[in-house]
A and B are shown apart, each in its own frame.
Chain A
Amino acid sequence: MNLRELAVKDMKSQNVKDWGLPIELMDPDGTWYTTDNETGETLKAVQILYDYRKLNPDTGEEITVHEPIVTIARSSLARVPVPGEKWIVKMPTETSESATLETRVINKARSIEGGKSLGFVRLYPGSVEQS
């Protein structure tokens, strides 16, 4: 295994161990993913961030937004989300493995990012309400 492959492997293993929180994903076909495709253990995100950001829209006024970011190792997923697809993400909104998972959505409003350089995909879950 060369250094690049080792970096991808370590990115997942070290971060899941120190920062990982459980998540559940549902793909556009209605299939739930709750276990890690590589290890068979509970599916965990490499990192979940819950920061607030301040933005300056065209009016010049600042709007504070809550922006959760979910980073997942590609090797953890049997199917990797691609831009344009609609997915459901159930994620904890507290930094605890025992926190209740809340439903968020991935859709075209905010595209998926992340790449294969270190083998991860970055999701920007959006709020959803009952229609």
Chain B
Amino acid sequence: MMKFREIKAAYTTLLDSQSSGNFDVIGYQRQSKSSNEFSKLVTPYYYSGDFPKSSTGIYGSNVEHNVTLMVELSVSVKAQMDLTVINDPSATSTERAAAITAMQDGAALADQALDELFDLVFQITMDPRNAYFGLSGNYFADRFIENFQKDSPLPQGEEVILTGRFQLTCSCEEELGGETGTAGTAYDTTVNIEDDQGNNAGASGTLGG
């Protein structure tokens, strides 16, 4: 298996194991997802690879691979308010007005939620203890988050949905395994003298003293 596949799998496992329940991780792109099935979602996947041309790559056994993983962040957020006041038949109009004034806008909460999610993922990814995503040392090098981009909130929907993404780059050497040979025909090379009538093989002697 090429190393980029193992790097991506290890990174997905790392995020999942260190999420502490703060977000969900899916290690592949889905055709679509529903806004009410997630609140905070991280989707890492292999996005692109760059293979600089070199003599060792063309004629040798290793090819340099500059790996780019795309990591997409998605949050789906509801507005928040004190619903106990709204649902209390005995609440006064003043109390209800105070509750509705204190309502937190879903868009504001979504913006905050995405910032928090990126904060969490960045800390996990760039922690020096996670430099190799749990793989053995020197498996790959120079993992780095080069940028982050936040999108606009989706214009429709009961929940406020906000997405963002960053590219995670690293470099590794892909080993070329070569072709496995096919075993040839086996020949028995044992010398088998069946009948030595002329004693041609000679007799073992004893060295003189």
A residues adjacent to B (C-beta < 8 A): 26, 28-31, 53-55, 57-59, 61-68, 86-88, 103-105, 107-110, 124-131
Give the residue of A31, A58, A62, A125 whose beta carbon is less than 8 angstroms from that of B93: A31
Asked if B101 and A28 sit within 8 Å, CB to CB, the answer is: yes
Shortest beta-carbon distance, A29 to chain B, in Å?
A: 5
In the bound complex, CA of A54 to CA of B31 (Å): 11
In the bound complex, CA of A131 to CA of B79 (Å): 9
Most buried by B among A53, A65, A88, A124: A65
Asked if B154 and A63 sit within 8 Å, CB to CB, the answer is: yes
B residues adjacent to A (C-beta < 8 A): 29-36, 72, 74, 78-84, 86-87, 92-107, 151-161, 163, 165
Asked if B79 and A128 sit within 8 Å, CB to CB, the answer is: yes
Interface of A, helix, strand, loop or mixed by DSSP: strand
Q: Which residues of the other chain, B, contact A125 by a CB distance below 8 angstroms?
A: 158
Q: Which residues of the other chain, B, contact A129 by a CB distance below 8 angstroms?
A: 78-80, 83
In the bound complex, CA of A86 to CA of B97 (Å): 10
In the bound complex, CA of A57 to CA of B101 (Å): 31
Q: List 16 A-B contacts (CB under 8 A).
A: A55-B156, A59-B72, A59-B163, A61-B30, A62-B33, A64-B32, A65-B156, A66-B158, A68-B158, A86-B100, A87-B100, A105-B79, A107-B105, A130-B83, A130-B84, A131-B82
Q: Which residues of the other chain, B, contact A67 by a CB distance below 8 angstroms?
A: 156-158
Residue of B nearest to A125 (CB): B158
Asked if A26 and B80 sit within 8 Å, CB to CB, the answer is: no
Asked if B32 and A57 sit within 8 Å, CB to CB, the answer is: no
Give the residue of A30, A31, A65, A107 whose beta carbon is less than 8 angstroms from that of B79: A107
In the bound complex, CA of A66 to CA of B157 (Å): 5
Once A59-B151, A86-B100, A109-B107 are accepted as A-B contacts, the answer to whether A54 and B81 lie under 8 Å apart by CB is no
Q: Which residues of the other chain, A, contact B78 by a CB distance below 8 angstroms?
A: 126-129
Asked if B81 and A128 sit within 8 Å, CB to CB, the answer is: yes
Asked if B156 and A53 sit within 8 Å, CB to CB, the answer is: yes
Q: Which residues of the other chain, B, contact A55 by a CB distance below 8 angstroms?
A: 154-157
Give the residue of A30, A64, A66, A104 whose beta carbon is less than 8 angstroms from that of B96: A30
In the bound complex, CA of A54 to CA of B32 (Å): 8
In the bound complex, CA of A93 to CA of B33 (Å): 21
Asked if B159 and A130 sit within 8 Å, CB to CB, the answer is: no
Residue of A nearest to B161 (CB): A63
